[in-house]
Structure 1
Amino acid sequence: MEILPAIDLKDGQAVRLTKGLMQSAKIYSNEPWEVAKKFEEMGSHWVHLVDLNGAFAGEPKNLEQIEKIRQKCHLKLELGGGIRDEETIRRYVDLGIDRIILGSIALKNPSFVKEMAQKYRIVVGIDAIDGYVAVEGWAEKSTMKATDLAKAFADAGVEAIICTDVGRDGMLSGVNVDFTLSIADASGIATIASGGLKNLDDIVALQETQKVSGVIVGKAFYEGTLDLPKAFDFLAKNVL
């Protein structure tokens, strides 16, 4: 199982939101690349990047910071937030982003996502409110169940699904293991848990399922409820 520390970008800064609400943004750094470098030094292989402004605008909005992170760090980078067309995907891939997260577009145009998965390293982001898919930067709840959307990408060639329980995101209330497993079972592909992770107990619980391929770590690191180097060490020593 892989730990993917997260950097959410808003107005060029590294922030964390609560339940995806932009007005809840808490700034943690004016130089997001320095945060990425810190993750690299702690032993991370990946960083999970989200362009929050882009998620609402439907186009890249934190390009300068994304470029800086790519230039100054040797980590693998996955990036999401407002990516709606192949031109944007190609732009990010040319920039050196390792894989692209497609969220809202996965619900609105699944055939586009499947087509892109044949050309690029694509991850589908499924964000859910009460089990139903949330779209447009989590501003809206759709009528589709998250598990049904996961099923639609079962044999589509996407690398993974990142599933977020929006109600827990940024709450430090514990990761939703059951929801994560429901997505993994529905899709049959690598599934990454997101939303609510608090401490090492959450990582242990996900690891023990032997069905979860990764977990996004956000506020737990920034607020100090998770010792990240200790978490990396735990996974290195407990490969199931």
Structure 2
Amino acid sequence: MILYPAIDLKDGKCVRLLRGEMEAATVFNDDPAAQAVSFEEAGCRWLHLVDLDGAFAGRPENADAVEAILSATSLPAQLGGGIRSMATIGDWLDRGLARVILGTAAVRDPDLVREAARSFPGQIAVGIDARKGMVAVAGWAETTDISALELARRFEDAGVGAIIYTDIDCDGALQGPNVEATAALANAVTIPVIASGGVSSLDDLRALRTCGAPLNGVISGRAIYDGRIDLVEAMALLAD
């Protein structure tokens, strides 16, 4: 399993939210590029980037910060938030992103996901963010009537590289991930699943590693910044 340290971007800074609330943002680093470098120096293999402002605006809003990260580190990075057109997808991949995450677009424009997956094999991920099992979009501001499992199954034959599953009620709360729902989703589809939301300890990582589902990896943010999870120990645990 791969550990994906999260860099969530708001107003050009590295922040973490509590259950997706923009008003509950905590700034952890004014220099996202420096944060990315520290993750690389610790031995991380990937970066998970989120343009929080872009998710609400429907267009990239933290491009400068993302570009600074890509310039400062050699790590492959995946980015989500406000990416809703082929032109934007192509532009970001040309700038050096390894993978683009489509969330709101997966619900509102599924044909875009399919076209992108065909045009950029392995470089498109679907972000499925769920509140009580139902998919939320537009920066988690709107909850749909589509279940996370239903949405995942819609893209089984699309050729997407990964599904990033986030339980919103767990995100940033440091109370543990929704292991049961994550495992159920991963066992229901053949697309690699990355777990996200609520990871607060090495025990949480162990629970996901032994959940009975073939998870690709896990995203963690606040617990790393707070020092609750030691990156070296976490990566060793997931590699075991």
Shift of 1:235: 2.4
Give CA deviations for 1:93-144 in whole Å, capped at 9, x if unaligned. Answer: 1110000000011011112101110112100000000000001100011001
Verify the 8 A CA contact 1:153 1:187 in the aligned structure 2: no
Verify the 8 A CA contact 2:57 2:82 in the aligned structure 1: yes
Verify the 8 A CA contact 1:7 1:218 in the aligned structure 2: yes
* 2:146 alignment counterpart: 144
Verify the 8 A CA contact 2:7 2:221 in the aligned structure 1: yes
Q: Superposition pairs for residues 61-72 of structure 1, below 5 Å?
A: 61-72=61-72
* 2:229 alignment counterpart: 226
Give CA deviations for 1:68-93 in whole Å, capped at 9, x if unaligned. Answer: 10011010100000100011111111
List gaps (5 residues or longer) in structure 1: none
Verify the 8 A CA contact 2:187 2:213 in the aligned structure 1: no
2:162 pairs with one of 160, 163, 166: 160
List gaps (5 residues or longer) in structure 2: none
TM-score by length of 2: 0.97
Q: How far apart are the structure 2 equivalents of 1:15 and 1:57? A: 17
Shift of 1:233: 1.8
* 2:218 alignment counterpart: 215
Shift of 1:187: 2.1
Aligned residue pairs total 237
* 1:92 alignment counterpart: 92
Verify the 8 A CA contact 2:9 2:53 in the aligned structure 1: yes
Task: Please state if 1:119 is matched with 2:119.
Answer: yes
Verify the 8 A CA contact 2:183 2:213 in the aligned structure 1: no
Q: Superposition pairs for residues 1-240 of structure 1, below 5 Å?
A: 1-120=1-120, 121-208=123-210, 209-236=212-239, 238=240
Secondary structure of 1:100's counterpart equals strand
1:224 aligned partner, one-letter code: G
1:213 aligned partner, one-letter code: N
1:24 aligned partner, one-letter code: A
TM-score by length of 1: 0.97
2:87 aligned partner, one-letter code: E
2:180 aligned partner, one-letter code: D
1:142 aligned partner, one-letter code: T
Secondary structure of 1:128's counterpart equals strand
Q: How far apart are the structure 2 equivalents of 1:198 and 1:235? A: 15
Verify the 8 A CA contact 1:8 1:51 in the aligned structure 2: yes
Shift of 1:14: 0.2
Q: How far apart are the structure 2 equivalents of 1:135 and 1:186? A: 22
Write out the 4+ residue segments of structure 1 that deviate beyond 6 Å after TM superposition: none
Verify the 8 A CA contact 1:124 1:160 in the aligned structure 2: yes
Verify the 8 A CA contact 1:133 1:142 in the aligned structure 2: yes
Verify the 8 A CA contact 1:19 1:169 in the aligned structure 2: yes
Secondary structure of 2:174's counterpart equals coil
Secondary structure of 1:9's counterpart equals strand
Q: How far apart are the structure 2 equivalents of 1:111 and 1:87? A: 14
Verify the 8 A CA contact 1:154 1:186 in the aligned structure 2: no
Q: How far apart are the structure 2 equivalents of 1:137 and 1:13? A: 17
Q: How far apart are the structure 2 equivalents of 1:54 and 1:102? A: 12
Shift of 1:185: 2.2
